[in-house]
Structures are given as C-alpha cells and as structure tokens.
Amino acid sequence: MAKHESKNKKNTPPSPWDVLQLSDKQSSRLDIETEAKKAQSAANAFFVKKDKDDKKEKAAPKVDEPQPTSVDEEPIVLFTKKHRHVDEQTETNIDEKEAEIEEGIALPTDDERNFKFRDYAARLFAKREKLQPVFTLQRQTRQASAMLVLLTVLTLGMCWFISPASMVHTINVTGNEDLTPKEIISATDIKKNRSVFGVFGHEQSIMKTARRNNDQIAELNVRVMNPTTVDLVVQESIKAGYILVNGKFHLVLGDSKILDKTMNNPEPGFPLYDNFQKGANFEKVIRGFATLDEPIRTAVSEIKYAPTKQNPQRIIIYMNDGNEVFAKITTFADKMAYYPSIAAQMKERGIVDLQVGAYSYPYSKIPKKTSAKASSATSSSSASSASSSSSTQQSN
C-alpha cells in the first residue's frame, strides 16, 4: 500500500506548494545544477560555432582582400525546422541540418532528369489515351456539322437557281439614238425569263455578238444590276451619209461599212456620196468625214468625187449654205476645220479652195463658162436635195 502511494506521488507533477516547502539546502542545490547546465550549454555552443566557422573557412573561395572580422560578434544561433533548443545533442542536430541543406542544394543528375521526363511523358500519353474517345467524338461531331451545313447551302442554292428569283425579267436600254431598244435586245440574244448566269460573266461575248448582229452598234456595256435586272448602255456608230446603189439608198457608217438595208429616200441631215466606187478613196473619204465635228458634218449636203489631171484626188463638197469646197481626199479632214471662219468672212456665196492652202472667192469672179458649169452643178445639187426633202416629207 505504501509502495503504491509512493508511485502515485512520483507520477503526479509537482505543485507550487511543494516548491515553497523545499528547504534552503535543496533550493541552493537546484540553483547550482541549473547554472552548471547553462555553462555546459554555452561551452557546447561555443565549440560547435568554432567548428562550423572552420568548415566555412575551408569551403569558402580565396579572396584577394581580407574580410574584416570582429571579436565582439555575437554567436550565430542555428534553428532547425522544429526550433529545438541547443543542448547536449546540438552538434549532431547541426550536422544533420547541414546534410539536409547540402542535399537540397545538390542538382539532379542526367539520369534523374531523363527519368522525370519519361515519367511525365508516360503520364501525358496515358491521359491522352484516356481522352482519345472524347477527341474522336468531337472530331466526328465537327465533320457531321460541316457536312450538314454544306448540304443545306447546296440545297438552298439549287432551289434558288431554278426559282424565278434568278431569272431576268427587266432589260433597260440607254444611249440609243437611231436603233430601238427591241433591235438592240435582239442583237444581244438576251431573252427574258432566262437564268441570269447566262449574262453574268459573259459581258464581252454578248458585246461581240451584238456588234456582229448589228453594224450600227459600236460599243455595248452590259451590267447585271441584280438577279432580275440587266442594263445595256449602247454607243452607236456614226452615220456618214447615204450612197445610191442600183437606184436604192444605203446607209454608210463611219467605218465605211455600207448597210444592206435599203430605203427609197435618204434621211435629211446627212450627205450624199456621188461618183464614188468602192475602194480605198471611198474609205478614206468616209473615215475622214467621220472625224469632223458634228456641226460641220450636218452642214454638208453632198460630197462628189471630181478628179482632174492636176489633182486626181479632188473632191467637191457642197454645203447647205450654198458654198462649194474644193479639197483633196488626203487633207480635207484636217482643213475642213477652217471652213466656219472662212465662210464667216465671205460677203457672198462662192468657192472655198482647200487644195493648196486655204482661200475663197465669190462666184462672180469665176469665168462665165466655169460659172455656168458651177451654177448648173449647184442647181442640180439643190434640186436633188429639194427632191429628196420633198420625198421625205411625203413619206412622213
């Protein structure tokens, strides 16, 4: 029983009352023991620090300049991860700490790096293999969506292609003077209620077809305004006059083409060509006349080929104001530009000679024989122009 009570007393922690009940001898003995422990721990710390400094000096690189040291420097206290106090096992703890630090600073070897990379790659490929069915499903979904969109677009395009929304319903014609819109449309071979794709992208071929089918069309601009509307802008060839062939008048264009279409009476405002044969001279006269300004072209009533021994290329141009112009085929197109100023200076009707130079003289200064011939020629030309005008009035 007494032994059991003594064991309980040993196991129970001491209380402040027990400390107060200690004798003076016991208290002095405890103080000496604590002081001894403190001295021993200080000595251990001093020698441990000294050993550590020696190791650092051995490991540190040599420096040219010596580093100053102080004797009064306080000792460095090292702490572990668990913040243990420096005691009898301080030296062993410091060695373990230094080993841990050295192990943490040491760089991994090549084998360790290769192993880590292989491990990472293996884990990455394993993860990819697990997700491969998901990637396959996503790819198949995208392909199916693209095919569905493509089929939808093709279906809608086919429906629009065969619907009236893609057919030509309106054809607008502008720029025409003598030709009617119906003649121009028929020359282009563009028909209504046909697909607009027969026009779109074929503008040049349509222009060539129109010029081939109708010589009066010089230029044609085809514009697709919308799937149901097409605009045609026409530039007609210049009318150079009329020529009498087998008792019928044929229209002559500015490029010296003679149309097959015939008429009984020529249209007023355009000259007549007399005594000409198809050939180089006729083409030169027509092309030169087409280059004249419109006021001068409308002032000409007749052009007659009248060669002489001195001038085999002479032509006589009869003007509507009663004057006559003598000129050469090769130069009349350039010299006719001076006619308005020369005619304005003439006080009476006469002849304007442009064969060599440019001058004029009245009919009164011409010899009687020449004047008689000239008057007969002018009277015949005036009579022919009057008859043509009267016949056109009757026809109208």
Predicted local distance difference test score (pLDDT) of residue 28:
55
- Token pair, residue 51, equals 């050993």
> Tokens 């969109």 map to which residue?
149
Q: Cα(191)–Cα(176) distance, rounded to whole angstroms? A: 19
What pLDDT sits at residue 115? 61
Q: Name the token pair of 248.
A: 């019928």
Residue entry with tokens 């819109």: 181
What is the Cα–Cα distance from 359 to 352, expressed in whole angstroms?
6
What pLDDT sits at residue 356? 86
Separation CA 19–CA 344 (nearest Å): 152
CB distance 242 to 266 below 8 Å: yes
> In the beta sheet, which residues pair with residue 241?
252
**How many helices and strands in the chain, by DSSP H and E?**
12, 12
pLDDT at 92: 62
- Quick one: which of 281, 354, 351 has its CA closest to 312? 281
Concatenate the DSSP letters of all residues of 141-196 into one string: HHHHHHHHHHHHHHHHHHHHHTSGGGB--EEEEES-SSS-HHHHHHHHT--TTSBG
Q: So what's the pLDDT on residue 319?
A: 93
pLDDT digits (tens, 9 = 90+) for 243-285: 988 888 999 998 888 888 888 888 888 999 998 888 888 999 9
DSSP conformation letters of 362-388: EGGGS-HHHHHHHHHHHHHHHHHHHHH
Rounded to an integer, what distance in angstroms lies between the CA atom of residue 282 and that of residue 279? 6
**Beta bridge mates, 304:** 274, 316
Q: How many residues does the chain have?
A: 396
User: Which residue in 387, 391, 384 sits closest to 275, CA to CA?
Assistant: 384
| Cα separation, 224 vs 241, whole angstroms | 35
Residue 291 Cα to chain centre, angstroms:
40
Q: E strands of 12-79, at which residues?
A: none
Cα gap 170→301, rounded to integer Å: 41
Whose CA is closest to 192, among 158, 169, 166?
169
The rounded distance, in Å, linking the Cα atoms of 122 and 213 is: 79
pLDDT score at 184: 92
CA distance 315 to 325: 8
Amino acid at 364: S
CA angle 269, 214, 268 (to 5 degrees): 10
Over the chain (396 residues), what is each successive 10-residue block's mean pLDDT?
47 49 51 67 64 60 48 47 48 59 55 66 74 80 90 87 85 89 91 87 90 90 90 91 89 89 86 89 91 91 92 92 92 90 91 89 74 44 39 32
